[in-house]
């Protein structure tokens, strides 16, 4: 019984994670981001000003 419960939980875990990877802008958006390690995000003017002022991260255009 314990092995059955563990198998059901692991199967549920896998199904949920596969579903969550398809909820991005496109079906493969998060998968591509995980593989390349790069994602374009839209920042507000205030966020851009903060990053430029503090040099917290390097920004690519």
Domain boundaries, the chain: 2-54
- The answer to whether the pTM exceeds 0.85 is no
Ranges of H-type helices in 1-61: 2-21, 29-36, 45-54
CA distance 3 to 8: 9
What count of other Cβ atoms lies within 10 Å of the Cβ of residue 32? 14
pLDDT score recorded for residue 16? 96
The yes-or-no verdict on residue 60 having pLDDT over 80 is no
Per the rule left: phi > 0, alpha: psi between -120 and 50, beta: everything else, 37 is left
pLDDT score recorded for residue 59? 65
pLDDT score recorded for residue 61? 59
CA distance 51 to 45: 10
Q: Quick: pLDDT tens for 8-51.
A: 999 999 999 999 999 988 888 888 988 998 888 888 999 988 98
């Amino acid at each position: 019984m314990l092995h059955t419960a563990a198998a059901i939980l692991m199967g549920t875990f896998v199904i949920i994670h596969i579903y969550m990877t398809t909820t991005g802008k496109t079906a493969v958006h998060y998968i591509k981001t995980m593989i390349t390690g790069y994602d374009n995000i839209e920042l507000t003017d205030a966020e851009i000003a903060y990053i430029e002022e503090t040099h917290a991260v390097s920004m690519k255009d």
